[in-house]
């Protein structure tokens, strides 16, 4: 299978336009381009960004994503005025449209991208702007790359799923995981920070497959998770709940990169140590098994370079609530309460 070739087959741009104008322009672009007659869409993706730079970053990711999840994408840029008063003066929308085609092995997939720069009070009523662009019968996913919405945000009324990144939002401060837990009660939430640690989780789970290592999970003595505040709390919370441990057995320590180690004893009294660690700047994860009088094994895994795209693609594959994540959030809360 060859790599898909991407091309832009139609564009349109205008300032201070109505949503109706944008919709008509979008239909026009598709009507006048034969390749756009067949549109493949599995979802409507709405990315809400706070700056042009952030929007450009998002556009790059979304474009790469087209291969896996062709979708109608809205990148909304919230324009902040110099002052609160300036920001709230005069609602206006500037719009730009692109129709892209991805061609691969003689097949073409067409998808649309809408960029909306929103000014004024309309910024607080994005549901009314996004709603008309929602494709029928496919889920509408709202993605906030660097923040968390308030639970009362009207945009959540039109969303079937919310994608956030608790690690990126964490830099703003506050108890991000607790807020994520509140949001997860309202609608399915995907946290890219959680998706990003999928290799740690699956490698760790893999270490306990089979009859030799599995019994060690019944005798866990200590779990140590190191890393940034949010990720280590999330991973620690997941292990706390999945293994039914007391919070005192889970130790969290700060570090530049995420690592986890489980020390345990099996029914025969043998001690074993199981770890999944990223040691340094090199994008390599090492999983290790070290059992007393038993095998010592090490496996290295190169981390994916294109994680933002892959993490988002992974997130969009899910439907419904991410139960292990919600369990991890509950565990994180328990750990924080015990600290």
Partner 1 sequence: MTSDNPLAEKTAERVAPPAVLVIFGASGDLTSRKLMPAVERLALRRLLPASFSIVGVARTEMDDAEFLQRMMKTVLDVRSEDEAEGGGGGDVRHVWDAFSGGFRYVAGDYGAPDTFVRLREVLEELDRERGTAGNRLYYLATPPDTFPTVVQGLAAQGLNRPSSDDGFVRIVIEKPYGRDGKSAADLDRVVHEAFDEWQVYRIDHYLGKETVQNVLALRFANAIFEPLWNRRYVNHVQITVAESLGVGHRGSFYERAGALRDIVQNHVMQVLALTLMEPPATFDANGIRDEKVKALRAVDVLTPEEVPFEVVRGQYRKGWVEGQEVRSYREEDGVDPHSTTETYIAMRLRVDNWRWAGVPIYVRTGKYLPKRVTEVAMEFNRVPHLPFAADQAEGLDPDALVLRVQPDEGITLRFGAKVPGQTFRVRSVSMDFFYGAAFLEETPEAYERLLLDALLGDQTLFIRSDEVAQAWRIVDPVLEAFEEGHVPLARYEAGTWGPEEADELLRRDGRGWRRP
Binding site for partner 1 (CB under 8 A): 1-4, 38, 40, 42, 67-68, 70, 102, 104-105, 107-109, 198-199, 201-215, 217, 239, 242-244, 284, 287, 289, 291, 294-295, 297-302, 304-305, 318, 324
Closer residue to partner 1 in complex, CB, 179/270: 270
Closer residue to partner 1 in complex, CB, 147/265: 265
Closer residue to partner 1 in complex, CB, 128/299: 299
Residue 306 CB, nearest approach to partner 1 (Å): 9
Residue 6 CB, nearest approach to partner 1 (Å): 11
Residue 131 CB, nearest approach to partner 1 (Å): 24
Closer residue to partner 1 in complex, CB, 116/285: 285
CB 104 within 8 Å of CB 3: yes
Residue 272 CB, nearest approach to partner 1 (Å): 10
Number of H helices, E strands in the chain: 12, 14
Helix (H, G, I), strand (E, B) or coil at 46: strand
Residue 74 CB, nearest approach to partner 1 (Å): 20
Taken in order 83, 86, 88, 94, is the CA torsion positive or negative? negative
- Give the separation between CA 168 and CA 94, rounded to whole angstroms: 27
Closer residue to partner 1 in complex, CB, 149/331: 331
Cβ neighbour number for residue 301 with a 10 Å cutoff: 16
Closer residue to partner 1 in complex, CB, 153/334: 334
Return the beta strands (E) in the chain as ranges: 5-14, 43-49, 71-78, 92-104, 107-119, 140-143, 161-164, 189-191, 220-227, 250-254, 259-265, 271-277, 284-291, 296-302
Cβ neighbour number for residue 172 with a 10 Å cutoff: 10
Residue 149 CB, nearest approach to partner 1 (Å): 25
Beta-carbon contacts of residue 52 (< 8 Å; ≥ 6 apart): 77
């Amino acid at each position: 299978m060859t790599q898909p070739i991407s091309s832009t087959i139609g564009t349109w741009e205008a300032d201070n336009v109505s949503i109706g104008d944008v919709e008509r322009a979008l239909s026009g672009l598709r009507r006048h381009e034969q390749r756009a007659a067949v549109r493949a869409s599995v979802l409507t993706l709405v990315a809400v960004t706070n700056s042009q730079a952030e929007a450009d970053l998002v556009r790059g990711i979304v474009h790469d994503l087209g291969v896996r999840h062709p979708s109608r994408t809205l990148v909304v840029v919230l324009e902040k005025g110099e002052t609160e008063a300036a920001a709230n003066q005069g609602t206006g929308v500037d719009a730009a449209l692109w129709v892209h085609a991805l061609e691969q092995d003689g097949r073409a997939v067409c998808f649309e991208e809408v960029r909306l720069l929103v000014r004024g009070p309309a910024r607080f009523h994005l549901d009314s702007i996004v709603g008309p662009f929602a494709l029928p019968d496919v889920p509408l996913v709202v993605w906030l790359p660097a923040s968390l919405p308030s639970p009362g945000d009207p945009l959540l009324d039109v969303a079937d799923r919310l994608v956030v990144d608790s690690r990126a939002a964490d830099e703003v401060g506050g108890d991000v995981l607790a807020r994520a837990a509140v949001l997860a009660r309202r609608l399915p939430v995907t946290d890219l920070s959680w998706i990003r640690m999928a290799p740690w989780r699956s490698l760790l789970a893999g270490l306990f497959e089979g009859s030799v290592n599995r019994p060690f999970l019944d005798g866990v003595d200590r779990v140590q998770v190191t890393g940034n505040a949010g990720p280590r709390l999330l991973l620690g919370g997941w292990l706390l709940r999945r293994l039914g441990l007391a919070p005192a057995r889970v130790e969290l320590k700060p570090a530049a990169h995420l690592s986890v180690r489980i020390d345990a004893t099996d029914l025969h009294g043998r001690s074993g140590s199981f770890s999944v660690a990223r040691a340094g700047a090199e994008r390599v994860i090492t999983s290790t098994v070290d059992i007393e009088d038993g095998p010592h094994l090490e496996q290295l895994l190169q981390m994916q370079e294109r994680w933002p795209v892959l993490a988002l693609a992974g997130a969009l594959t899910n439907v419904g609530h991410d139960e292990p994540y919600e369990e991890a959030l509950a565990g994180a809360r328990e750990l924080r309460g015990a600290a």
